[in-house]
Structure formats: structure tokens, C-alpha cells
Structure 1
């Protein structure tokens, strides 16, 4: 039997309502901070598509008020499960904007774990949205994704990741990171999101790197969801290099 739910998140962003709208209601904007690759048909009744790991999720756009409100909703499955997302945009003084996210719908039997994962995941994604608007305004990011299931639990996964970062102590925002990925230029940046044991974010001059552990009950998978802003980046080669890096990580 399905379980109805609703979660709400508010975040103040250093951007105008128009900039926030472009980020949350267009494919290129979503590609710059959210998971996978997105397409958005700009009208009520249009389709919003999210492609990730060979799977495509589709939703119908139910609200389209540029600069103010965007919403979509998936069709209920045979078990009644569906998802609805609404973004509400409110401009504030001095060019800032408050974004309210409301996600609701029906979850399946494992609803508690699903709800917790969504709640924590939105903290990472909204933090990434804030970083995108603050540090890469007007630019479009290329999403890069890689997966490695069965990593032996979050403690082992994060020990390997932070060792690769060159971090020996606690992972805190502002900590310097130096990382080598074969086939790519050396990476130097800082931790800009510290959400262990679930996620870590690293910001450089031309990328937002995101590392996420799915949880034991959700495949014990380490997920990389990066956004590359370098104009000369080769998406296929970059994704392949990160997948090789992830496969070679001493975990599992």
C-alpha cells in the first residue's frame, strides 16, 4: 500500500528571480546543478524529461509562471506511486531570491528510506544550485555521472574518497582538495558541501564535483554527479575518465 508524503525546503539564493527561473525550469539550467540530463517543454501540459543511467523519467508540467512558479507531476503507476514537484520563487531586496521546493506524492513499501534519501539528497542538490548561481552565473554546465555499487558501506567509501582528495582529518567546508584523475587535468579546489555520511561537494574554478553514497538499503552505491563548466571539456571522455577512477577506488 502506498504512503502519501510531502516535504518542503526553502533556500535563499544570491540571484535574481529570472536567474533562478532559468536554473529550475530549463534543460540547460537543470543540467548545471541537478542529477542527470533534463529536457523541459516550456508550457503547461508540456513534458519534463530526466535521463540518467539509461533510464528516462517523464512528468507533465502542471504550472508554468515564468519567474514565479514551476511544477510538474508524473503519472501514477499501477501501484499508485507518483511524484509531484513545485518550485515557488520570491524575489527579495538587493537581488536575492527565496526558492521554496515542495515535493509530494505516494511512495512504496520502503517509504521511510525513500523519504530520508530524498530529504538529504535535496540538501545536496539545493546546495549545488546555490553554488552554481553564486559562482557560475550565466554559464551552462555539462553533467557527468558515474556509479559504483557495492562499495562496502559509507565508512569505507568515504575513507577512500577523502584519501584521494588528500584530506587526512575531518571533512569541513573550505578544506583544500587536490585530486588526480587519469586522462584529465589535475583538480584543485575546496570542499564546498560537507554532508557526510551521505555527500561531499568540491568546487573548482571550472566545475562542481559531487560525490554521493546511496545508503546500504539503496544499493550501497557511490554516485558521482559532476557539473563541468570548462568550455573545452569533452563530455564522453570526461565521464569515461571518472568511471575508471571510480572503478579503481579501493573499496568493496
Structure 2
């Protein structure tokens, strides 16, 4: 499994993930581009206007204040991009065949030192997405049943991914 890679995306730091699912592209699109689908695995409750230029709102994340962003690209069932604070999230859903697709998630970072923190968060979230797509009940990335975040973060730091940004809820950081 792809645990995430630190990259440059159009001159900005980013973390990139790729997953292949035994589901049609339309099923994965519903999970990553609709408020109902996102509710199973995304770290915030999301409401969005489903068109390029639309408003997107985020709330309910215990680590972040509610905020709004802009839908940068809305091209069903292939590409969704939006701003989230100073970051951008890009979701590409690519059909492989009628029953399989590839999801690429790129988190374009506002700051380089958020790479390990955000990569660990997306690793936990994508594990929840995989569980949801497989039909398992998910309680979301902040739940006790989700993959623990800290060991994933520690592994990213040990691998040399940029780190140092404050960690919400922690009294100090590495």
C-alpha cells in the first residue's frame, strides 16, 4: 500500500497518495465527492456546492475551527479539487476497468513542515475510506476504532518527511 509520498506539485510542497479499489469509479466518486460519502472517512463534516467556484464548508473536526473554502474543480466522476485553509486537496478518480479504479489524493500544503502531520492524517482517513468502501461500518478518523495516528506520524518523521508543524491537541511536538 502507498503510505504517501512527499512531492512538489506545481512548485508547492505536497503529499500524494494512490489507492486502487475493486469498485467502479462512480462508487469511489460518491465516497470522495459527496457530503454523505465523505461523512464516513473525512476528518470534517463537509457541505459543498457541487460546481467549480462553489462554496465548501468544513465543521465538526475536533482539531480545527469551522471554515469555508472554494471548489476549485468539480468534474464528475473524475476530479474534485478544493481549498481548505491554506491547503488544496485534489482527488482524481481514474477508471481502470468497469469494476476497478484508482484514487489519487494530493494535499498541496501551505507549509512544508506540515507534510508528516498531514500525511499521517490522510493515511488514517484513507484507511477509513477503504473500510467504508469494503462495506464495513466506520466511525471516522477521530474514532477509537481508526488506525492510531501517532505511530504513522512517527514513521513519516523517521522516513525523513518534513515535520515540525504544531500538532493539534498535543502539548508539544517533535
- How does the TM-score come out when normalised to structure 2? 0.71
Equivalent residue for 1:202? Answer: none
Distance 1:59 1:123 in 2: 22
Higher RCO, 1 vs 2 (CA within 8 Å, ≥6 residues apart): 2
Out of 16, 19, 33, which is 2:41 matched to?
A: 33
Cα distance change, pair 96–56 in 1 and its aligned pair in 2 (3 A): same
Match of 2:17 among 1, 6, 9: 9
Q: Which structure: larger Rg?
A: 1
Please, which runs of 5 or more residues in structure 2 have no aligned partner?
Answer: 1-10, 154-163
Q: Describe the SS at the equivalent of 1:9.
A: strand
Q: Distance in 2 between matches of 1:135 and 1:32?
A: 11
Matches within 5 A, 1:157-196: 193=147
Taking a change above 3 Å as real, the CA distance of residues 106 and 195 of structure 1, as seen in their structure-2 partners, is closer
- Deviation, structure 1 residue 37: 1.1
Q: Indicate how the Cα distance of structure 1 residues 126 and 142 shifts in structure 2: closer, same or farther if over 3 A, else same.
A: closer
Residues 121-160 of structure 1: matches in 2 within 5 Å?
A: 121-136=121-136
The alpha carbon displacement at 1:69 in A equals 0.5
Q: Which has the higher strand share?
A: 1
Structural mapping, 1:3-152, within 5 Å? 4-51=12-59, 52-53=61-62, 55-74=65-84, 82-93=86-97, 95-107=99-111, 111-112=112-113, 114-136=114-136
Change over 3 Å in CA distance of 1:216–1:145 after alignment to 2 = same
* Partner SS state of residue 66, structure 2: strand
Which SS does the other structure have where 1:15 is aligned? coil
Structure 1 residues 84 and 216, CA gap change in structure 2 (3 angstroms) = closer
CA 1:195/1:58 → structure 2, altered by over 3 Å: closer, same or farther?
A: closer
Instruction: Look up the SS of the partner of 1:121 in the other structure.
Output: helix
* Alignment check: 8 A CA contact 1:36 1:145 kept: no
Q: Quote how far apart the aligned CAs of 1:36 are.
A: 2.5
SS in 2 for 1:106: coil
Give CA-to-partner distance per residue, 1:102-158, whole Å, 9 cap, x none. Answer: 111422xxx42x21111111111111111100124xx9x776957xxxxxxxxxxxx
Instruction: Say if 1:87 and 1:100, in contact at 8 Å, map to a contact too.
Output: yes
CA distance in 2, matches of 1:71, 1:30: 14
Shift of 1:220: 2.2
Quote the Cα distance in structure 1 between the aligned partners of 2:76 and 2:20. 18
Q: May I ask how many residue pairs the two structures share in their alignment?
A: 148
